[in-house]
């Protein structure tokens, strides 16, 4: 009976569409990471075959403190699980633990055009922020991202709107490779949630919330203390109208807070407008802060509990790497054969 159940599970996974996504462990996870990505991932496990990585290989395009990178990576594994990503239902793994990513990335480097890489918006942005370290990895990392996706034959890639360009490049590279060697790679589609896909900075609401922001008052972290979260929301930028209604063009600060509140509470924008009709921004910002504190409290507490059990976390990421490698190695073997490499 046990063997039948295992077979049935494998058959069900084969029938599901596969999803691949990941976040760099370059710092503490942000509220934007949670509302825009991780929270949505947790709801997908029953419908999709889900692979979620900690993209540590991408992280080193910017200089990291090694001990801090290791700490952030382990904390992020714990935060993934605390956020609802059941390791029994999702494949959770560290990117560098699956060598096939680097192996396929080199092959795809040779099928990605210089002009394509030079047009990547994020390369331009990161080059401007890291003018003293514009390295080759920073330039070619979209090819590694393509390898991350194509190596698992992913159907869908949950990304923010700012990453859609990379999925398009991935499709272009896969199409080029398939045109030469036949049907090798599945062409992935971006999966962009309609609500909460792009959480903006609290102090600069026309910019995405980011852990790399110089003004840390604009960024809320998933594991941050409640009093610090409240302080940041009370300082959030709004406008002079003292009217809570959704208008991203003329009221970006208020609209960003409304989106955060909507995702945190389940209320619609219309319900939020009615709730705060006649109230000042002080009441509104305090309510948003309290909703976020309560949303993140159980995640923070569970993350702290899991970090006290490092043996369990190691077991999770090792098992995840083994599962991921089984799929990734098959793809690399097929690609190596297609391009003419002699088998070992």
Percent of the chain with pLDDT over 90: 72
CATH code given to domain 216-304? 1.10.240.10
pLDDT at 96: 98
SS3 call for 260: helix
pLDDT band at 3 (very low <50, low <70, confident <90, very high): low
SS3 call for 55: coil
pLDDT tens digits for range 179-224: 999 999 999 998 876 555 579 999 999 988 988 777 889 999 999 9
Question: Is the pLDDT confidence value at 5 over 60?
Answer: no
Give me the active site residues, please: 126, 208, 211
pLDDT at 226: 96
Q: Where are the domains of the chain?
A: 2-192+310-339, 216-304
Q: How far does Cα 83 stand from its chain's mean position?
A: 13
Eight-state DSSP code of residue 309: -
Work out the burial of residue 62: count CB atoms within 10 Å of its CB; fewer than 13 is exposed, 13-18 middle, 19 or more buried: middle
Q: Which residue has the tokens 């709801």?
A: 43
Phi–psi pair at 322, nearest 5 degrees: -65, -45
pLDDT tens digits for range 95-106: 999 999 999 999
Nearest to 99 by CA among 313, 330, 328: 328
Q: Which residues contact 231 (CB under 8 A, 6 or more apart)?
A: none
Question: Is the pLDDT confidence value at 309 over 90?
Answer: yes
Residue 167 corresponds to which tokens in the numbers above? 């999925």
pLDDT band at 325 (very low <50, low <70, confident <90, very high): very high
pLDDT averaged over the chain? 90
Examine domains 2-192+310-339 and 216-304 and report if their fold is the same.
no
pLDDT tens digits for range 229-240: 999 999 999 998
Q: What is the second-level CATH architecture of the domain 2-192+310-339?
A: 3-Layer(aba) Sandwich (3.40)
Mean pLDDT, residues 314-337: 98
By residue count, the chain amounts to 344
Q: Which residue has the tokens 């979209």?
A: 142
Q: Give the helix ranges, DSSP H, for 187-309.
A: 226-234, 252-265, 269-275, 281-307
pLDDT tens digits for range 104-130: 999 999 999 998 988 887 777 777 777
pLDDT at 126: 73
Q: How far apart are CA 238 and CA 67, in angstroms?
A: 38
Question: Is the pLDDT confidence value at 162 over 70?
Answer: no
Nearest to 85 by CA among 154, 155, 13, 21: 21
pLDDT tens digits for range 23-54: 999 989 999 999 888 988 888 999 999 999 99
The answer to whether 55 and 25 are in contact (CB under 8 A) is yes
The whole-model pTM stands at 0.88
């Amino acid at each position: 009976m046990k063997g039948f159940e295992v077979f049935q599970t494998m058959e069900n996974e084969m029938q599901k569409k596969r999803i691949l996504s990941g976040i760099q462990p370059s710092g503490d996870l942000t509220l934007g990471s949670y509302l825009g990505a991780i929270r949505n991932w947790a709801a997908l496990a029953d419908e999709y075959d889900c692979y979620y990585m900690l993209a540590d290989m991408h992280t080193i395009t910017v200089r990291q403190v090694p001990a801090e990178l290791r700490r952030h990576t382990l904390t992020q594994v714990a935060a993934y699980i605390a956020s609802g990503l059941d390791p029994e239902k999702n494949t959770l793994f560290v990117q560098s633990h699956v060598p096939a990513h680097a192996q396929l990335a080199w092959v795809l480097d040779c099928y990605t055009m210089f002009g394509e890489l030079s047009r990547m918006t994020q390369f331009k942005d990161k080059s401007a922020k890291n003018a003293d370290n514009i390295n080759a990895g920073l330039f070619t990392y979209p090819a590694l991202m393509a390898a991350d996706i194509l190596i698992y034959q992913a159907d869908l890639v949950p990304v923010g709107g700012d990453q859609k360009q990379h999925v398009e490049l991935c499709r272009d590279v896969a199409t080029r490779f398939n045109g030469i060697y036949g049907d090798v790679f599945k062409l992935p589609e971006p999966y962009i949630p309609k609500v909460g896909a792009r959480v903006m900075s609290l102090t600069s609401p026309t910019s995405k919330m980011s852990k790399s922001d110089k003004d840390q008052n604009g960024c809320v972290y998933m594991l941050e203390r409640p009093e610090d979260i409240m302080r940041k929301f009370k300082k959030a930028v709004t406008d002079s109208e003292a009217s809570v209604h959704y208008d991203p063009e003329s009221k970006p600060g208020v609209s960003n807070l409304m989106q955060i509140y909507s995702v945190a509470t389940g209320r619609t924008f219309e319900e939020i407008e009615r709730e705060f009709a006649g109230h000042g921004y002080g009441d509104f910002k305090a309510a948003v802060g309290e909703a976020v504190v309560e949303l993140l409290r159980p995640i923070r507490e569970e993350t702290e509990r899991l970090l006290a059990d490092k043996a369990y976390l190691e077991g999770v990421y090792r098992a995840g790497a083994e599962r991921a490698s089984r799929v990734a190695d098959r793809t690399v073997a097929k690609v190596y054969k297609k391009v003419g490499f002699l088998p070992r």
